[in-house]
Structure 1
Amino acid sequence: MCKLKKQIFSYMERLLARSTDKIICISEAERMSALKHKIADNEKLEVILNGIDFTAIENAIPAKRKDLNIPENAFVVGMIGRISEQKAPDIFIKAAKKIQEEIPNSYFIIIGDGEKKQEIEEYAQKNNINLFISGWTDNPYSYLKIFDIAMLLSRWEGFGLAIVEYMAAKKNFVATKTDAIPTIVRNGKDGILVNVDAPTEAANAVIFLYKNKDIAENMKKEAWEYAHKRYDIQRVAEQHLKLFKSITYIKSL
């Protein structure tokens, strides 16, 4: 995000914060950012972690690989996210090239759409990378179900909900050490974190998981249990309700 846009958003947030009772931050990183940019005092900030519907992921019907021209025995690496500067699809596809050089039967999926789609498709075609882009879809979890490993290589991220979706789907994943992501992921235990704009490092992490099946399986188990305790949508709803009740109670005094 450019400097001018950041300044405009910060000004608007400070202005609107004056008329709020509480501001919900979806991560500790967001709370720290709000304090840094003087959006509001700490007393007005409330951290309620984002959440997802685990049942929706569990009940999703996997897409058929043959419909995507992906062999049944292929090693599938994918990402969920807008094909934009923030989500770093350019780094994903560069990592894909290195992964495919090491693992020839690799195929890659991007669940999403965006302004960099043509650029990514052209790079994939030029480098003979096996790539499928879903475009906008109402059923992202159907595609997620056929991933072997997932990636989220964002340059900045307020939360990183896709990571929680990966955990819930019991997928190994590689993500970047940026903003809120390190507060979600226990590096080396749930998944692997790499530096921003580092395609070789990201590719090596995927290759490591591919070659070390026992470690990868244990990570999936740890990640699912951790996510289920922290990010279930029911917990999120209950925390919001508790907060609303406390605000209403205080105002009634």
Structure 2
Amino acid sequence: MGNVSRWPATSGTPMKLVGPTEVASGSGRVLYLQGVASIGGAERDLLAMIKALHGFDPIVVCPNQDPLVSLVRDVGVPVVCMNMPSWRKVKALPLILPAIYRLFLILVSHKIDVLHINDLWWAPIGLAASRLAGIPCITHVRADYTPRHIRHYRLKACQICIPVSKALGQSLERSGVDPARIRLLYSGIDLSRIAENHDSAAIKAQYQIDPGRVVIGSVGNLQAVKGYEFLIRAIAHIKTAIPSILCVIVGGGDRPYAKTLYALVRELDVSDHVVFAGFCDDVYPLLSVMDVFVLASISEGFGIALLEAMALNKPVVATSVGGIPEVVIHGETGLLVNEKDSLALARAISHLLANREQAAAMGKRGRERVEACFSIKASIARLESLYAEVLGQTPMKTGVWTDHI
């Protein structure tokens, strides 16, 4: 691809049979339905949930592909491999009924108590299978969908919908989902699993980053919704004033979109300033060497990567879309700009790089905010309480859904 810098992805080879066949005792069995195997925020949140879950026994159904299969297996959670057809594609129509039936058989054979769908894409198939099995169904809603889009996925039939931000909860309401069925649940991260100190010099040497470079970066799959073209254009603005700027983009994904990004890098003559690191299982080492973390999304339900960066005391520049303003407090933990505005991104990034004390203070407050509001312990406690609700082990909550956090 010319002079575009890329680092190889670290995913392994596909596997066939995975995970243990027995699970530990608990208050019930929860099957997590995940239809894609690439690793993004939704998948990292799924891994965090099954690692931290202790009152219920998790099982994961997902495609027979790495890296997700291996990562789930490494946690010690059973995996059942199954491909999920697309709900709204005509060519997938013949596959939908067989998928519903197979999922129904999995639910029955594994004696599942609750089906938890990890995003709405697979909700219609999961809902149909759970009805056949006679068990409750919960659907996570993670991306910033419009009410019109949400209506296509039949979420009115879900016992509970879990938006990851108030912005998404409001979209669910506008789509016609009964507010009594909505439970806001912010994602959380496990701070105990994050190394407090990273050897920056060694990490830069490992990834061949010159010690004199000013490093910014972003983490997320290479998808158009992440707005990477606007970040790349921002680098083109910044490089004149800061010739040592280096932007590290961590994530794999959509090849056609990636090719457009590589072409844009060459067109703007920023090949020496942008590196595509590919997929990384552990993003924290690369995050640790960034001076500023940037999320240029044009749509975002929440932004797990923001929590990961803030946990490492990194100041953030992000777009003010979806649930991002619920994570990043403008002027306190970072700076928010309008989406699709490369010049505004460049100005915000440049401001933090020129005002290091202010940036460091924002990073510190960001860490404090993660500790106070986005811990995995609190998130799992709320999730397990929700499972107990739908299983009738505790009374169903009433009142305003935004109170249920």
TM-score for the superposition, normalised by structure 2: 0.57
Report the alpha carbon displacement of residue 56 of structure 1 after superposing the two structures with TM: 2.8
- Paired residue for 1:24? 162
Residues 1:241 and 2:390 are matched in the alignment: no
- Please point out which of 231, 235, 256 is paired with 1:92: 231
Q: 1:27 to 1:8 in 2, by over 3 A?
A: closer
Larger Rg: 2
Residues 1:33 and 2:33 are matched in the alignment: no
- Please point out which of 357, 381, 404 is paired with 1:214: 357
Report the alpha carbon displacement of residue 206 of structure 1 after superposing the two structures with TM: 0.7
- Paired residue for 2:189? 52
- Paired residue for 2:325? 182
- Please point out which of 272, 289, 293 is paired with 1:150: 293
Residues 1:105 and 2:247 are matched in the alignment: no
What SS does the corresponding residue of 1:24 show, helix, strand or coil?
A: strand
User: RCO (CA 8 Å, sep 6+): is it higher in 1 or 2?
Assistant: 1
Q: What is the rounded CA distance, in whole Å, between the counterparts of 1:173 and 1:188 in structure 2?
A: 10
Deviation digits for residues 58-91 of structure 1 (CA, Å, limit 9, x no counterpart): 3685662133332112100100011111001100
The aligned amino acid for 2:150 is S
- Paired residue for 1:81? 220
Q: What is the rounded CA distance, in whole Å, between the counterparts of 1:6 and 1:28 in structure 2?
A: 14
Moved over 6 A (4+): 4-8
- Paired residue for 1:68? 207
Q: 1:204 to 1:7 in 2, by over 3 A?
A: closer
Q: What is the rounded CA distance, in whole Å, between the counterparts of 1:6 and 1:171 in structure 2?
A: 31
Q: Structure 2: where are the runs of 5+ without partners?
A: 1-88, 90-144, 397-405
Q: What is the rounded CA distance, in whole Å, between the counterparts of 2:231 and 2:336 in structure 1?
A: 14
Q: What is the rounded CA distance, in whole Å, between the counterparts of 1:60 and 1:219 in structure 2?
A: 19
Q: What is the rounded CA distance, in whole Å, between the counterparts of 1:34 and 1:17 in structure 2?
A: 9
- Paired residue for 1:128? 270
Q: What is the rounded CA distance, in whole Å, between the counterparts of 2:211 and 2:377 in structure 1?
A: 36
Report the alpha carbon displacement of residue 194 of structure 1 after superposing the two structures with TM: 0.3
Q: What is the rounded CA distance, in whole Å, between the counterparts of 2:165 and 2:147 in structure 1?
A: 21
Report the alpha carbon displacement of residue 207 of structure 1 after superposing the two structures with TM: 0.7
- Paired residue for 2:313? 170
Q: What is the rounded CA distance, in whole Å, between the counterparts of 2:155 and 2:274 in structure 1?
A: 43
Q: What is the rounded CA distance, in whole Å, between the counterparts of 1:200 and 1:70 in structure 2?
A: 26
Q: 1:243 to 1:128 in 2, by over 3 A?
A: closer
Report the alpha carbon displacement of residue 9 of structure 1 after superposing the two structures with TM: 4.9
Q: What is the rounded CA distance, in whole Å, between the counterparts of 1:75 and 1:176 in structure 2?
A: 21
Higher fraction of helix: 1
TM-score for the superposition, normalised by structure 1: 0.89
The aligned amino acid for 2:270 is N
Report the alpha carbon displacement of residue 119 of structure 1 after superposing the two structures with TM: 2.1
Report the alpha carbon displacement of residue 192 of structure 1 after superposing the two structures with TM: 0.2
The aligned amino acid for 1:37 is S
The sequence identity of aligned pairs, in percent, is 25
